[in-house]
Each structure stands twice: as C-alpha cells, then as structure tokens.
Amino acid sequence: MDLQKYINHLFQSIKSKLSEWLSLEDGETILAEDVYRFLHSIKGTSGTLQLVNLMQVSDGLLNKLDRYKKEWDITDLKTFLFPIIELTYSHENFNESVISDEPVFHTNAPLIQIIDDDVSLLMLLKDVLEEKNWIVVTNTNPDKAVKQYFEMKPDCLILDIQLPHKDGFQVLQEIQEHNEKHFIPTIMISIKNNKQTRIEAYQKGADDFLNKPIDIQELVAKIERHLQRKRIFEQSVLIDELTQVYNRKFLVESLPRFFQHFNRSKEEFSICIVDIDFFKKINDTYGHLMGDKVLKEFAQYLKSHIRTLDMIYRYGGEEFVIVFPKTTNKEAKGRIEELIKGFSQKVFSHNDIDFSVSFSAGVFTVEDESVTMDEAFKRADSSLYEAKRLGRARVECSQLVDNVYQKVILNISVVDDDIIIRTILAQILESLTIKHVELNIKVFENGPSFLNSEHAKEDINHFLILDGIMPIMDGLEVLQKIKQSSNAHRYKVLMLTGRKSKNEIEHALKLGADDYVIKPFYVRELKERIERMLNRMK
C-alpha cells in the first residue's frame, strides 16, 4: 500500500494548523487542550504511517505538557512546538521526515572565499564545497570582495584572474599589501594556462594555480591540503605575524603557569585586556593598510612601555592581553592609565590628515586561590566592556563581585512572507548567544513593513535576512533601497534565494548582498552560518 499521499496529507494538516497559530499576535493565547489534541493526533497518525521520528518528537512533547496549564501564550507555544515546525519544513522541502542526515557545521568551520564574475561557477563551487562542511562566501565585485576579505578573514581564498574593472592580479596585490603578515592560502584560477600566467600568479603571491574548466576533485584536494598547512603553521608559531608580540596560542599555553606560580608563591598578579577604541572606524576611514599600521605601532608601544617581566599577547583583532606579575589591582590600573595617556598623545597621519587613537582596558587581579582561569579572564573582559560603556579611553577593574555592563545592541531583521520560515529563523536567532552583544530581533512579512519601520532606520549595526521572492516588493528591491539609504554601511545582508535563481543571485551580489543561502536550507547549517556572520560583526 502506498502511504505517501497519506503522509503528505498529514504534513499539510500540520502546516495548516501551525500557520493558523503562528499568525496570531503576541499576547494571544491557545487553549492547552487544543495543543494536547494536536500533538496526540500527530502521534497516533505518524505511528500508523511509520513516521518514527515524527512520532517520537510528538510523544516527547506530549510528555512535557503541563496537565494543569489552561492556555498557551503564542510566544511560548512557538518555542515549544519548534521541533514540529522544523520537521514540517524538512518534509515539505526535502520530502523527508527525519533530519539526522543534515550536514553538521561548526562556528569554527573553515571559511572559503571565492571571487569570480561567473555566477554559475560560484553557485556550483559553493554547493560542492559546502558539502565538505566548509562555509563559503562569494563575490563578483572585486572592490567589495576585498572589503569582504578583510571583514570575514577567510581561511582560504579562490580568486579568478579575469574579473571586471580590476583583474585578479590587482586584487591579489591589494590584498598582499594589506596582508603581508597573515598566512591565508590563495588559489588563483584562470582560463589562461600558459607558463607566463602561472609564473605571474606565483610572483604576485598565489600559493596555487588551477586552470579552467576546473577539476572539482583536484580543487577540493588542493583546498584540503592548504587548510592542513594553515593549521600546522598556526600551531607551530608563537609570535603574531603582524604585531610581533606573542599570539593567542601562546597565551593559552602560558597563562596556566601564572596560576601555578600564584598557588605556590601567593604573589598576586593582574590580567589586563586592552582594546583599541573605534578600530573599525579607522579601517573604514583610512583603509586597512593604515589599520594594520595602527595595530603594529600600538603593540610596539605597549611592548616598549611595560616591564621586561610583563607579558603581552595579541588576543585577536584589535584586542591584546597583558599579564602583570607581582602587581596589585591598584598598581595595574595606574600603569594602564599612564599607557592610555601616553598612547593617546601619539599622532598618526594619512594623506595629510592627522588623527589620534585611544584604547580601553579591563583589569582583574588574581589574589584568591578559588579563582579559575576562565573566571579571571571573564572578569577582566567584563571590566573592559564596562570601560567602553563609560566612555572609552579608560581602565576599569573587577573585584570578586559580578560585573554589570551594557551590551552592544545589534538590530536583526527577518523579512520573509512565509510564516513557517519566519518562525524558524526567529527561533534560530533567539537561541544564539553572542558575547557582549544584545540581539534586537524583529520579523516582517514584507518589504514595505520593514523599510517603514523604526527598526530599519536606526543608525546602529544591522543584520538583515531577506527573502528574494516576495509579494508587494521583492527582496532585490528591498536590498537596493537599503544600499541607497544613509545607514547602508551599517548593514550586513544574507539573501534567501531559490535554487535555480541564477539571475537573482547575480543581481543580489552586485547590489551588495554579503552572502546568500539557497532555499530550501538545512536549519542547523543556517544557524551555524548566521552565528559565524554575527560573531564577525562584533
């Protein structure tokens, strides 16, 4: 007996009821007995139709029901029924009732950037490489691609030589000028496979070369090898290439020794985390080359103004860690205040424009054996963000009490006309925790309601997830209006697009979309991708 038509009917019924409930306004309620009957019906029918996973999920939810609960708030119900919502989406789009075969992505998965003006090739390579559980970002515009390169910090770059307005050699040269102290493997690709082209690619800084048409298996093998070399390189060095101070790896290795020494000697020591103020603005205003110069001179300034027994490390980006042995909380604060005052007087110049740079700092002093490394580091980090909240260019110290500090606000918007997808995306976003960032999440069912909202107009950083095809106003039109607005520089845009919409993807990339995801998407994969992009926006 063919059960497929009955299975399809069941999922259609489930979707219909979910859509009815999810369309209710916040504050409206559903009777608990209706929720019970809904789940009980799913359990019975799915068991009959041999949908084991759906039966187990509905049975699990039934067991979690509070028998004394009279009604459900719609917000709570969305969260409670999310496993059913996810299974319904998976069945409708992948024709499956189990989702255990989804690719498993991680926030530390390798990030591959591809720069090529052939959208068909970009789509193919993105699909193939993401099957390897790598995260892939693409761009057709050389200038935007260079900016994306420095913002996203890929683990491997694939770069076509033949590009519009600026060829791949020029792009590579621009990247190399800004990136001389970083090891990011680069594979150049080209329809030209003559000796002169290959030699020029290597002379300009490419690590590898592939001619078009590309052999996919060979490309994957080359990327795997370069990623392996990058991991080995990063594990073998202790000095940060750009700033020439110790790197994060050595901090992780050496910090336990400070705690071990404290446990033996009882000599207190202080951990200080410092962060250059408004560093992104320096990059945006004066360029990444100037940003690198500021980083190098900042690191060398700190290194030359601390004691020989003090240790300085580059923690990441514009953040550095200084460990002050045999130093009280008060002494560490005094030293940092002197460093802030001295560095703020330093003058940088760019195209006859002079500017100065300040930094903020957070200090925690280890003076109690009960304090763990994680706790000490978190308290120093919390103090840093308290210093930023209080105006920057200052130092704050933490004691053995909880710190309360204001998080940076990041607006997030989901614009999609499908209520199931809106709910899934909202649930993904609400489940994320981004360090020191408060996510202000809103969902919209069409473009005009989003564009006319105060949420869209606020002059703060904004992450937008935008459906490509919608009634009233399609996603490309919304994207174009966003990119023409006064706060366009605040936006990072992730487009949701159909699998066969080559023209839509090409247009979206040209308009300035930062990434795209093809519908239907795997929920877990999309969650990891969003989390990685949000962490890069901090």
Residue 157 pLDDT greater than 50, yes or no:
yes
Instruction: Evaluate the CA torsion angle 151, 157, 163, 165 in order and state its sign.
Output: positive
pLDDT of the residue at 2: 60
Give the residue-averaged pLDDT of 493-522: 81
pLDDT of the residue at 361: 95
Residue 99 pLDDT greater than 80, yes or no:
no
Helices (H) and strands (E) counted in the chain, each on its own, are: 21, 19
Q: Are 183 and 156 in contact (CB under 8 A)?
A: no
Question: Residues near 389 by Cβ (< 8 Å), separated by ≥ 6?
Answer: 405, 406
Segment (H or E) for 21: helix 4-22
Q: Are 343 and 281 in contact (CB under 8 A)?
A: no
Query: Range with the lowest mean pLDDT among 97-111, 226-240, 294-308, 404-418?
Result: 97-111
Angle in degrees, CA 427, 429, 433, rounded to 5: 120
If you average pLDDT over every residue of the chain, what do you get? 86
Closest among 459, 466, 457 to 508, alpha carbons compared: 466
CB atoms within 10 A of CB 520: 15
Per-residue pLDDT tens for 172-217? 988 887 665 567 899 999 998 899 999 999 998 899 999 999 999 9
Distance CA 50, CA 4 (A): 11
Q: Are 152 and 184 in contact (CB under 8 A)?
A: no
pLDDT of the residue at 95: 58
User: Which of 13-27, 32-46, 212-226, 491-505 is the most confident on average?
Assistant: 212-226
Pair type for strands 269-276 and 319-324: antiparallel
3-class secondary-structure state, position 518: strand
Per-residue pLDDT tens for 29-63? 999 889 998 998 898 888 777 788 888 888 889 88
Q: Which pTM does this prediction carry? A: 0.62
